[in-house]
Structure 1
Amino acid sequence: MLAACSAGAGNSGGTGNNTGGSGQQTLTVGLGAAPANLDFTQTAGAAIPQALMYNVYEGLVKLDEHADVKPLLATSWKISDGGTKYDFTLRSGVKFSNGDPFNADVVKFSLDRVPDWKANTPTYLSAIRSVSVVSPTEVMINLKQPDNNLLFWLAGPLGAMFSPNAVDDLATTAIGTGPYLLDRYNRGESLILKRNDNYWGTEAQLATATLRYYNDANAPVNALRSGDLDVVYQTQAADQVKQFQADDQYNVQIGATTGITVMSMNNARPPFNDRRVRLAIIYGVDRDAINTTATNGYGKVLGGPVAPTDPWYVDLSKKYPYDPQKAKQLLAEAGKSKLTVDFTVPSLPYAQTIAQVVKSDLAKIGVTANLQTQEFPAVWLDKTFTQHDYDLTVINHVEARNVFNYADPSYYWSYRNKAVQKQLTDAVAAPSQQAFVAGMKTAVNGIVDDAAADWLYNAPNIVIAKKSVAGVNADDTGVSLDLTKASNPK
């Protein structure tokens, strides 16, 4: 990091009340998992920020479609020599949708609250020592030590700006500075956004955007065919992709994601506190078959906790190849030739599909997996994620750079490895991007050598839309379904 290094100087959007939002365009999007509520400070689950970040809530910076950090409520920033001070220049004249002003005091208020969050891993910003108000349009973030991830985390939910007068009931209300207002949320069914006509930047082209949630993989694509939807985002009916590609009424995009579908083993609970058993499970499950069954082959088989979009990605898919005999040998060495485990599976179509393949594969190596379906998000987030009450589970972690949770023993994986913790900590504080990437590769190798989990595949983002739809990007950064450029002239 260089002294006075200016990043992303310039404007992101217009200067307010442009003509982009003059029409009455609408967009209806079909999605899978629904938000449990609207408070991503206290409730886990990617569905809440997916709907609200960049659309309703904004931060100092955001990720563009290439996952590069760009200005948003900050116009520019400078990083001190040594990387421990970030000096942000803020936009002036920005207001929340309730009329409250956005300024440096709001930045301090919002970031000072993060340590009290119960969700979205507030420890990601633990390098922050203090936030200092320099002037209404300038704020200084002071770090305990350098953090190569700081701007990246500030571009996600942890960096969301909240009005001090609008945080009493975040579970049911959302007051932000973004191009959309929350109109209403029908829990488990739909979330409706409407254009913010007083937005500081370029107004949204959509008058309303409706997000509809479905538990069944085929229901949203059927709704698209019938005209009830304009877009299906993160399509789970991968077997129908070719039909839509052959129909000139639709556009099909297959985008990159940060998502890692991981079969997690509770490292704190027998038998998975034994590395040999964890390795046996990895050798005993056919990741290629799972990818084919769950994604119709559109996903990318993994073998480590890193998506190909990250700069420290290395293809580890061949490190532990499918080898049932090797799995049996490891189980015998561990004295677990006959093993029964509980497999708690969220009620999501892809997870249910994966569970059947895993159950069959494990039976071949002498492991009985008792499948227990848990309602998602409510039950799975409570029992498995929060209470850590599980043996084996599977979920697609769509949030970016989830690998850093392997440094947190309190995360639901219950993974504790002091060497890995130090490697991740050292990498984040490295003096250069090159050293950061090298340190991350070392840490990832340590995690994989320890067989902390079975990383199945990098999920694709399949987006199927009517020809009229534009501005819905298929490359998913793991933060938001960003509708700021979406349009649907019919």
Structure 2
Amino acid sequence: MFNWKQLGTGALLIGALALPQAFGADQAAAQARKDAAVLAMVLEPPGLDPTVAPAAAIGEITHINIFQGLIRILENGQVAPLLATSWTISPDQTEFTFKLKTGVKFHDGTDFDSADVKSSFETYAGEKSTNKRKAVFTNIASIETPDAATVKLKLKKADPTFLFSLGENTAVITGPESRATNATNPVGTGPYKFGKWVKGDSVMLEAAPGSDVKLKSVTFRFISDPAAMVAALLAGDVDGVPIGLTGENVPQFEKDKRFTVTVGSTEGETMVSTNNKRPYLSDVRVRRALAHAIDRKAIIEGVNFGYGKPIGSHFPPHDPAYVDLTGKYPYDVAKAKALLKEAGAEKIELTLKLPPPAYARRSGELVAAMLADVGITAKIENLEWAQWLDVVFKNFNYDLTIISHVEPNDYVKYAEPNYYWQYDSAATQGFINTANSTLDPAVRTKALQDMQRQIAEDSVNVFLYNLPRITVAKAGLKGLWVNAPIFVNDLAALSWQ
């Protein structure tokens, strides 16, 4: 085990900064490409239907581009019309009437109308649904379609986040004719249609007939290794990385006039997720010991070169209801050891199962070293993305992991005892229920703040930092988002200048 305390901000360099400025025979051709673009992603999604699987990588490719919802979420976090042209809301916020676009067709040539909205939402609420926002749709008491261009939704109880939820990728409208095969052959109403998927390498989208997008095709290449991603940018093999590079790469690309660099915010709460039902970890004293044992500032500096704002609970710092709880568990080795001794958990061994992203793998090394300082052996197991989804997320076969939860409003998962961290608190469930049902902004804010404090008090997970959105692209490629209220790449906004 290395001594993490000797690490400086340059100690975790992966060699990227030593790469040559340009190489590869294809660079000239890549530079001349003006009707297409290649974007790099860290993770390959397990499928391409965001309504049946939880991976955020699905939406990065298909949301807004292939699949559209009634509503879209803008880069500033506001909602705007998409397949719906307008809507009205009853005073008690339980009835929503949407007017729909007419003349819209799915990529397979079938017509879009109100029946597709009804069948989509009923499917997402169904008994066999695996939609990660299923509760949004089970809260719909009735769906009426008085004509092809009108949909009336009546909720069982008011939901102040309902419109925003309809703008997420879990609420996209799909046709019954293609719904069963959307994971491998996605069919939507968006400006791009599915081209091809080369497993392990890339997904290519093509401009849909009649769409007015600037680029005829966009390819997403999957590059999990940070050094390879930097090399691909420098060689001209990829045109942009919307998110996935770490802070160490920023100075190099800022100095290179061939590229533009932006640093924005996301909804990503990066944390050491803890299986609250495992031996030892079911004891809150052990979980609190973990929080005291981990120096989040050292991780932010060592892994992300200072990019990323510390958090003390599962809530993004830019939200108006945010409570700064970073001081609740200060880095304190002696306190951590005392809590472990009190819990009878000295010199224990835990598994630390890590997904592929660089922030997770590299944070894992630091976390393991920090835990060793308090007598905990963290056995690192590196998993591929599909393995992580199966082993950790689906089957709960882990003690600790490191992941960034990037979905907006995903604090609701703390009200689900069967979610992968297996946390069950009546108090927390009450706060979340209040926040998601009240129409009083002050009551909602208080409930959200009480929820944050309760999660911190129970030390459900070790909260590290808010994930930054570091975007690097060729200087001529315009339209990539700076901030990410949702994880999406709006390809219709892309153009070469």
* TM superposition score normalised by structure 1: 0.92
Q: Which of 290, 306, 317 is 1:297 aligned to? A: 306
Q: Which of 65, 72, 80 is 2:75 aligned to? A: 65
Q: CA RMSD in A?
A: 1.4
2:213 is aligned with 1:204: yes
User: C-alpha distance in 1, partners of 2:35/2:425?
Assistant: 52
Residues 65-84 of structure 1 correspond to what in structure 2 (within 5 A)? 65-84=75-94
TM superposition shift of 1:382? 0.4
The residue aligned with 1:439 is 447
User: C-alpha distance in 2, partners of 1:188/1:407?
Assistant: 35
Unaligned runs of 5+ in 2: 1-32
User: C-alpha distance in 2, partners of 1:50/1:180?
Assistant: 13
Using the TM superposition, name which of 396-405 and 379-388 deviates more. 396-405
2:178 is aligned with 1:178: no
Q: Which of 470, 473, 481 is 1:462 aligned to? A: 470
Aligned partners of 1:25 and 1:205 also within 8 Å? yes
2:443 is aligned with 1:400: no
The residue aligned with 1:337 is 346
Unaligned runs of 5+ in 1: 1-22
The residue aligned with 2:364 is 355
TM superposition shift of 1:125? 3.3
User: CA offsets, 1:198-251, max 9 Å, x none?
Assistant: 24xxx2111111111111011112111111111112132421210110111111
Aligned partners of 1:36 and 1:187 also within 8 Å? no
What residue identity is the alignment partner of 2:257? Answer: D
Q: For 2:280, what is the secondary structure of its paired residue?
A: coil
What residue identity is the alignment partner of 1:447? Answer: I
Q: For 1:332, what is the secondary structure of its paired residue?
A: helix
Aligned partners of 1:264 and 1:394 also within 8 Å? yes
The residue aligned with 1:195 is 207
User: C-alpha distance in 1, partners of 2:343/2:262?
Assistant: 46
What residue identity is the alignment partner of 2:283? Answer: D
Q: Which of 156, 162, 170 is 2:174 aligned to? A: 162
Aligned partners of 1:32 and 1:215 also within 8 Å? yes
User: C-alpha distance in 1, partners of 2:140/2:300?
Assistant: 40
User: C-alpha distance in 1, partners of 2:382/2:136?
Assistant: 31
User: CA offsets, 1:228-277, max 9 Å, x none?
Assistant: 11111213242121011011111100011111111111111221111111
* Runs of 4+ displaced beyond 6 Å: none
User: CA offsets, 1:31-90, max 9 Å, x none?
Assistant: 101111213333221101111000010000011001111111111111112111111111
The residue aligned with 1:277 is 286
User: C-alpha distance in 1, partners of 2:170/2:53?
Assistant: 13
User: C-alpha distance in 2, partners of 1:421/1:324?
Assistant: 32
TM superposition shift of 1:119? 4.1
User: CA offsets, 1:157-194, max 9 Å, x none?
Assistant: 22100011111212211111101011011123111111
User: C-alpha distance in 1, partners of 2:437/2:174?
Assistant: 28
TM superposition shift of 1:293? 1.7
Q: Which of 253, 257, 263 is 1:254 aligned to? A: 263
Residues 25-424 of structure 1 correspond to what in structure 2 (within 5 A)? 25-115=35-125, 116-199=128-211, 203-376=212-385, 378-424=386-432
The residue aligned with 1:4 is none
**How many aligned residue pairs are there?**
463
Identity of aligned residues (%): 35
What residue identity is the alignment partner of 1:214? Answer: I
* TM superposition score normalised by structure 2: 0.91
Using the TM superposition, name which of 209-218 and 431-440 deviates more. 431-440
What residue identity is the alignment partner of 2:158? Answer: P
What residue identity is the alignment partner of 1:395? Answer: I
User: C-alpha distance in 2, partners of 1:149/1:136?
Assistant: 26
What residue identity is the alignment partner of 2:260? Answer: N
Q: For 2:180, what is the secondary structure of its paired residue?
A: coil
The residue aligned with 2:484 is 476
What residue identity is the alignment partner of 1:414? Answer: Q
Aligned partners of 1:295 and 1:459 also within 8 Å? no
User: C-alpha distance in 2, partners of 1:454/1:367?
Assistant: 15
Aligned partners of 1:156 and 1:479 also within 8 Å? no
What residue identity is the alignment partner of 1:380? Answer: W
Aligned partners of 2:122 and 2:137 also within 8 Å? no
TM superposition shift of 1:24? 6.0
Aligned partners of 1:420 and 1:446 also within 8 Å? yes
Q: For 1:258, what is the secondary structure of its paired residue?
A: strand
Q: For 1:229, what is the secondary structure of its paired residue?
A: coil
The residue aligned with 1:452 is 460
User: C-alpha distance in 2, partners of 1:124/1:444?
Assistant: 22
What residue identity is the alignment partner of 2:226? Answer: A
User: C-alpha distance in 1, partners of 2:404/2:53?
Assistant: 17
User: C-alpha distance in 2, partners of 1:255/1:487?
Assistant: 20
